[in-house]
Amino acid sequence: MRVRVLVVLLGVACKPPLGTEVHHHRGQIVLSAAAPQTPTGVTGPYVSVLDSVGLTMTPASGSQIVLGRHLSRRDTTASFSVDLQEGTYQFDARVLSAKRAVLYAGTGNSVVDRDGFSVDLSVAPQTPVMLVAPDTSHVVVPTGSLGQTTLVVHNRGIGVLRFSIYDTSQVSRTQCASVACFRPSRLADTVIAGASVAVRIDAIRKFATAIPLTFSSASGDVEVVIHTP
């Protein structure tokens, strides 16, 4: 799957005082990042460690412009409105996790000299990037037997992803203190770049309230919700 972050910069036209005319231009910057290998496909909703995107624009002379915004779950685009003066700029982009780890980064230079300018800025993975699918799983528990579902952990970055699984929520402690509600087939594992690992969840019994399961990695954590309808 190609991970794509789109950052659109829209110049705001304004008229400066006479004698101080500064040309401003409208355009867009497109950030894109692809995994170093072609990873297995993801079907259905997912959750990843991507949390925010930051963009720094540095003119040849003058002050830097720094913008940022939070990414909602499964966001692949981010838009910013700015007023860019004509000139040469360096563009630096970073995609961060909630732990402030730099997941993707890239830099490029371009001359802003007309309306409709476009800059293609490639951002490359800097670390393992965890994605888990699906983000919510409904497990049917037949009478007298186990219910089963499968969660898949993907590495969308570089290097080796090391992850652990935790069930530490108050909801789980309340419902599953005396008898376990479910059991993961593994509590920790590794995933190479562009690959995935399946985790089977065996539901031992039904539970009334959905339970969040935490997948933790060095660069960030995600929560997957388990239901038994």
CATH number of the domain residue 160 falls in: 2.60.40.10
Examine the domain organization and report whether 108 and 8 are in the same domain: yes
- Residues in Cβ contact with 175 at an 8 Å cutoff, skipping those fewer than 6 apart: 181, 207, 208, 209, 211
CA nearest 63: which of 85, 96, 45? 85
> Per the omega criterion (within 30 degrees of 0), is the bond before 212 cis?
no
DSSP one-letter string for 123-187:
-EE-S--EEEE-SEEE----TTS-EEEEEEEEE-SSS-EEEEEE---HHHHHHHSSS--EEES-S
Q: What pLDDT sits at residue 181?
A: 86
Examine the domain organization and report whether 16 and 103 are in the same domain: yes
Examine the domain organization and report whether 42 and 98 are in the same domain: yes
Examine the domain organization and report whether 118 and 175 are in the same domain: no
- Residues in Cβ contact with 39 at an 8 Å cutoff, skipping those fewer than 6 apart: 1, 154, 155, 156, 194, 195, 196
Q: What pLDDT sits at residue 73?
A: 74
Examine the domain organization and report whether 52 and 90 are in the same domain: yes
Question: Taking the complete model, does pTM exceed 0.85, yes or no?
Answer: no
Domain count, the chain: 2
Under 8 Å between Cβ of 115 and 26 = yes
Paired tokens of 103: 């997941």
Q: What pLDDT sits at residue 26?
A: 64
Query: Domain residues for 42?
Result: 3-125
Examine the domain organization and report whether 106 and 134 are in the same domain: no
Q: What pLDDT sits at residue 40?
A: 55
Examine the domain organization and report whether 192 and 107 are in the same domain: no
CATH number of the domain residue 75 falls in: 2.60.40
Examine the domain organization and report whether 38 and 84 are in the same domain: yes
Examine the domain organization and report whether 10 and 114 are in the same domain: yes
Q: What pLDDT sits at residue 219?
A: 96
Examine the domain organization and report whether 29 and 75 are in the same domain: yes
Examine the domain organization and report whether 171 and 63 are in the same domain: no
Examine the domain organization and report whether 220 and 149 are in the same domain: yes
pLDDT tens over the chain, length 229 residues: 344 444 443 333 334 444 545 566 665 555 666 544 444 567 678 999 999 989 899 999 888 989 888 888 777 666 666 678 889 999 898 999 999 999 999 898 888 887 777 777 788 899 999 999 999 998 988 888 889 999 999 999 999 999 999 987 777 878 887 888 888 999 999 999 999 999 999 988 888 889 999 999 999 999 999 988 7
User: Which among 125, 160, 184 is the end of a domain?
Assistant: 125
User: Which among 125, 156, 191 is the end of a domain?
Assistant: 125
Burial tier of 79 (Cβ tally within 10 Å: 0-12, 13-18, 19+): exposed
User: Which among 125, 159, 177 is the end of a domain?
Assistant: 125
